[in-house]
Chain A
Amino acid sequence: MLSIHNLHASIDEKRILKGINLEIKPGEVHAIMGPNGSGKSTLASVLAGREDYTVTDGSVTFNGKDLLELSPEERAGEGLFLAFQYPVEIPGLSTTNFIKTAVNEVRKYRGEEALDAVAFLKLMKEKMAMTNIDQTLLSRSLNEGFSGGEKKRNEVFQMAMLQPKLAILDETDSGLDIDAIRIVANGVNKLRSKDNAVLLVTHYQRLLDYIVPDVIHVLYNGQIVKSGPKELALELEERGYDFIKEQFKAEA
């Protein structure tokens, strides 16, 4: 589904991604962990098409397409979704109006008819129930004045509405209470199918109790320095990143 080959990216001449290789197949869940500043959000942003970053080398294909050639909106149309680490607040745009536009623009991209009011409402009700999100929140301006947890839940709600093929969740569990983590996990698990895949960026083992990943990768200094089964998360929780950093230094 997604293959990243030797991906290098920089911002303002600063090299951040230094040769990422990653292969995600349909049905898989991958987790990416790693110390602060190692490049996790950068990777997520480059995949979603943020233009501040310059890809200096490497390639990314998504379901057979050259992902790097597509605009952010085309990537969403192709079924890529990024739940932001820091969702943006947009005054004056109601969340409902925003999500309706998004759903229909994605449908249009795929050559599908726009949802009529009834069908849209039905879809929304269903996903609201699933993500335990309140109507009053959705009638407010997008993320404006939302609490940290509400913003994250809104990301998961948007994911549920857009039903992506590949969902990238950038620390969606950070700042959530225990119930909310379960809701997020539930949303992700519902999306999980043999055709869909998930890439989770997280700092905590806890989320991985609910969403069991197939593989865990450690990103450090712009590279994936270690990959392993879910037990790797436990090891990291116990030992921290020092042993990886040391190993990295030794190799360098």
Chain B
Amino acid sequence: MNNLEYIKERFSQLPTVNEQNGLGVIRQKAFDALNKMGIPTTRHEEWKYTRIGSFFNKEYKYHTAGTFSEADLAPVRLPAYEQANELFYINGHYSPELSVIRSKGLTVQSLQEASKNEYKDIVSKHLGHSSNYLKDGIIALSTAFVQDGVFVHIKKGQIIEHPIYIYNITDARQANVLAQPRTLVYVGENAQVKFVETFNTLGNQESFTNRVIEIVVEKDAITEYYKLQTDASHASQVATTHIQQIGKCVTHTVTVSLNEGLVRNNLNIVLDEEYCEAHLYGIYLQHGQSHIDNHTVVDHAKPHCESNELYKGMLDDQSTGVFNGKIFVRQDAQKTNAYQSNKNVLLSEGASVNTKPQLEIFADDVKCSHGCTIGRLDEESLFYLRSRGITEATAKSLLLHGFAVDILEQIKLAPIREYVDKLISERLEFDLA
């Protein structure tokens, strides 16, 4: 039995599938979509360069969460966690026992619950909104199992001082694991919040994570979202972040990918109200056989919005990269400002990257620009540094670190910025030694 059949069997065993209110309907719809579309192959336009089929030809167990000691968790914890709200997902399941909620105005509960209580309108309106933008079986697969998901609510007017750290942990100590952590976040009017998400696999078996987080941001709210991907070579993931800006608000995202395995990121930003602002940054360092695919969509649905996107990458060894940046400017969205840039440095003959901007503009009074570059390390600069006594390896690492600096500066949480800076420096030192 391949994994997809196993997944389908599991689906039919779950009781809530027949539930007519709550999550039942949305799950059944997603399951039908999954059956229709299947897992995307490279024949799918959006999956041309990223192959995930093999993960579904293997045996992956859906649930096999073991028990955790503090010592197991210590290495995955982010710096300054003592001052953070911490949400733990183990193999895709939210763990209230491990999680720590420190801030007032922050509510975390299961989506099942939220779909029935005072939040049910939010849930029914926004859960699964990402599937309007992502038309493939992988997002359907997540939604089909959405009953394990979590709802995060930030109360109107609340400034959440403590950042929210989300740990996606897969416990692959015993067997291969498939994990589908799912979250719906609602950031109320005038609220401010910062998220940091990480992915870690424990143990030596394989893991495949299909992560979906949908974030709805209300008017006058400010949301920062940092995604850190440092997982091992036997860990692969599709990580979807779908942000809907439904009031005049600001979002700021930085995606840091130092993964060893395969990563596909979907980042969708829907600017659904006038005068919204979105900043999207990314940095990826790839080596060995690793693969990074950043698919981004910025949808300018309303006038007077601004989006600013800059992704930078360095690829060494046999690693491969994909950048696909879509910008839609709808007919309505006059006075749009949209900028996009993707810059790549290839560090070896074997590394490669495919970069493709895709602008679809239906309004006439807009300012849009895009650009992409693929280059090598600048020889002039290298010689300049070496002529000052700096060894070739150090010189390269200084240049590449310099290349990453403007993205690093976009991480406004100091302990996280310093942490990522250190990870990048260590990676460069290792790669260039």
Q: Name A's B-contacting residues (CB within 8 A).
A: 48-52, 71-73, 75-77, 81-82, 84, 87-88, 90-93, 97-99, 101-102, 105-106, 109, 141, 158, 162
Contacts and interface: CB of A to CB of B under 8 A. Distances in A.
B118 interface: no
Contact of B406 (A48, A76, A92, A97): A92
Contacts of B383: 48-51, 72
- The list of the 8 closest CB pairs from A to B, nearest first, reads A92-B402, A92-B405, A76-B389, A106-B389, A102-B388, A72-B386, A93-B402, A88-B384
Contacts of A158: 388
Given A73-B391, A91-B405, A92-B405, A49 B386 contact: yes
Given A84-B384, A87-B384, A162 B404 contact: no
14 contacts: A71-B386, A71-B392, A76-B387, A90-B384, A90-B398, A92-B404, A98-B398, A101-B390, A101-B394, A101-B398, A102-B385, A105-B394, A106-B388, A109-B389
Contacts of B380: 88
A20 to B, nearest CB: 20
Secondary structure class of chain B's binding surface, majority of residues: helix
Contacts of A71: 386, 392
A69 to B, nearest CB: 15
Given A72-B383, A87-B384, A88-B384, A93 B389 contact: no
Contacts of B403: 91-92
B389 A52 contact: no
Given A92-B405, A93-B398, A102 B389 contact: yes
A98 B402 CA distance: 11
Contacts of A49: 383, 386-387
B401 interface: yes
B399 interface: yes
B379 interface: yes
Nearest to A48: B387
Contacts of B117: none
Nearest to A86: B380
Interface in B368-386: 378-381, 383-386
Contacts of A90: 381, 384-385, 398-399, 402
Contacts, number: 83
Contact of B390 (A82, A92, A105): A105
Contacts of B406: 91-92
Interface residues of B, number: 24
Contacts of B404: 92
Contacts of A98: 385, 388, 398
Contacts of A91: 402-403, 405-406
Given A92-B404, A93-B399, A93-B402, 6 more contacts: A73-B387, A76-B388, A76-B389, A92-B402, A93-B405, A102-B390
A202 B403 CA distance: 34
Interface string B398-433: 110111111000000000000000000000000000
Contact of B387 (A52, A82, A97, A109): A82
Contacts of B391: 73, 105
A73 B394 CA distance: 11
Nearest to B380: A88
A98 B399 CA distance: 10
Contacts of B398: 90, 93, 97-98, 101
A105 B385 CA distance: 11
Contacts of B394: 101, 105
A88 B399 CA distance: 12
Contact of A73 (B378, B386, B405): B386
A82 B399 CA distance: 20
Nearest to B403: A92
A73 B390 contact: yes
Contacts of B389: 73, 76-77, 102, 105-106, 109, 162
Contacts of B381: 88, 90
A51 B386 CA distance: 11
Contacts of A48: 383, 387
A72 B394 CA distance: 13
B387 A72 contact: yes
Given A51-B383, A72-B383, A88-B380, A93 B390 contact: no
Nearest to A91: B402
A108 to B, nearest CB: 9
B26 to A, nearest CB: 46
Interface string B80-100: 000000000000000000000
A188 B132 CA distance: 68
A138 B406 CA distance: 18
A220 to B, nearest CB: 26
Nearest to A107: B389
A77 B386 CA distance: 10
A93 B388 contact: no
Nearest to B378: A88
Interface in B31-68: none
A162 B398 CA distance: 19
